[in-house]
């Protein structure tokens, strides 16, 4: 719809609100409304909490695989919904349902994970979502609500936590190569925390947008890709713990390249410079050459690790390109 701009006084411009919209949300003379600038757009919203509440419904009837149910709920959470009604919850076969966090159960008890009932899956998922709680559960239906206030002010802090947790994972893996098994075992917990911050950041971006709104898609891609780097670190830790042969000096040297690249990216993300961009691309090239030179020194188990090293290198190069996009 179009509205004409009306001049009031010398410097004031006004525009009328659609009457149907005002009636629907109880907007009356004297009320205050929020106006947010997003480049050439103005977003007008009321202070009425119920009018701004985003709701959705998910029908999970026929879905028996826990990871698929989890993905449905996670997608709604990331999309920014404040209230999620889940219907079609089918009965499980267990005599007693037990609460676990989703990631922990999948890692520690894969057999139990595969046989989780839908309601157990929902409870485990919600335990990992910042601010969300199951507020109502009845029959084959439950309601999940955001009991916190999702605001942009915590976004930057959460984004920094993702970078710090990635660097902690890389440090723990380096310690693992020196024989510290405990640091490797801790990576699963670290990565679960990283996932929680990543999901929260994506939720904020979908609900509020980035501070510079045009950059929202780019920041979204950066957060998503950083989480993928964390997943590769988690897989590396699992592989090292399962290795039967002693690792060589070559594999430690190759991982050092990935760790240094991560440090470069984090530094670039926090403080952009052309020199850092150049260093990352130069190191990517020399890292590929190093893999070629050291490949024959690796045993079969180490070559499995190399697969993850290469994926991390690809992700970090993609992240570098995205940070460069942010500058424009």
Residues 140-154 have pLDDT tens digits of 999 999 988 766 778
The confidence score (pLDDT) of residue 106 equals 59
pTM (two decimals):
0.80
Domain limits of the chain? 6-49, 55-146, 154-326
Q: What integer best gives the mean pLDDT of the chain?
A: 87
| pLDDT band at residue 2 using 50, 70 and 90 as cut-offs | confident
**182-239 per-position pLDDT tens digit:** 999 999 889 989 999 999 999 999 988 888 888 999 999 999 999 999 999 999 999 9
**29-73 per-position pLDDT tens digit:** 888 887 777 777 787 877 554 556 789 999 999 988 888 999 999
Report the range of poorest mean pLDDT among 82-86, 253-257, 298-302, 323-327: 298-302
Fold type of domain 55-146? Translation Initiation Factor IF3 (3.30.110)
| pLDDT band at residue 290 using 50, 70 and 90 as cut-offs | very high
The confidence score (pLDDT) of residue 96 equals 57
Report the range of poorest mean pLDDT among 5-9, 108-112, 134-138, 226-230: 108-112
Query: For 154-326, CATH number?
Result: 1.20.58.220
The confidence score (pLDDT) of residue 315 equals 97
Query: For 6-49, CATH number?
Result: 2.10.260
Q: Which of 240, 198, 234 is nearest to 219 (CA)?
A: 198
Q: Which of 230, 223, 128, 248 is nearest to 172 (CA)?
A: 230
């Amino acid at each position: 719809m179009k509205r004409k701009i009306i001049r009031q006084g010398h410097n004031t411009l006004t525009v009328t609100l659609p009457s149907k919209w005002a009636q629907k949300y109880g907007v009356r003379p004297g009320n205050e409304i929020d106006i947010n600038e997003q480049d050439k757009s103005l977003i007008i919203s009321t202070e009425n909490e119920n009018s701004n509440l985003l709701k959705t419904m998910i029908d999970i009837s026929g879905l028996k695989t826990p990871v698929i149910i989890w993905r449905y709920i996670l997608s709604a959470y990331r999309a920014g919904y404040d209230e999620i009604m889940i219907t079609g919850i089918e009965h499980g076969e267990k005599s007693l349902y037990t609460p676990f966090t989703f990631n922990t159960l999948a890692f520690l008890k894969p057999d139990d994970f595969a046989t989780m009932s839908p309601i157990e899956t929902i409870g485990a998922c919600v335990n990992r979502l910042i601010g969300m709680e199951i507020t109502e559960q009845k029959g084959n239906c439950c309601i999940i609500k955001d009991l916190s206030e999702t605001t942009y002010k915590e976004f930057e802090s959460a984004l920094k936590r993702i970078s710090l947790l990635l660097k902690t994972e890389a440090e723990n893996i380096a310690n693992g190569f020196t024989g510290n098994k405990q640091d490797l075992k801790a990576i699963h917990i670290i990565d679960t925390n990283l996932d929680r911050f990543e999901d929260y950041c994506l939720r904020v971006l979908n609900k509020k947008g980035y501070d510079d709104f045009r950059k929202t898609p780019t920041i979204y891609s950066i957060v998503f890709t950083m989480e993928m780097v964390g997943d590769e670190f988690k897989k590396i830790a699992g592989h090292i713990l399962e290795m039967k042969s002693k690792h060589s000096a070559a594999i430690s040297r190759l991982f050092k390249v990935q760790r240094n690249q991560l440090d470069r990216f984090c530094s670039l993300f926090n403080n952009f410079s052309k020199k850092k961009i150049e260093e990352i691309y130069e190191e990517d090239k020399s890292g590929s050459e190093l893999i070629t030179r050291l490949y024959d020194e690796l045993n079969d188990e180490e070559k499995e690790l190399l697969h993850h090293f290469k994926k991390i290198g690809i992700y970090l190069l993609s992240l570098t390109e995205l940070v460069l996009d942010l500058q424009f």
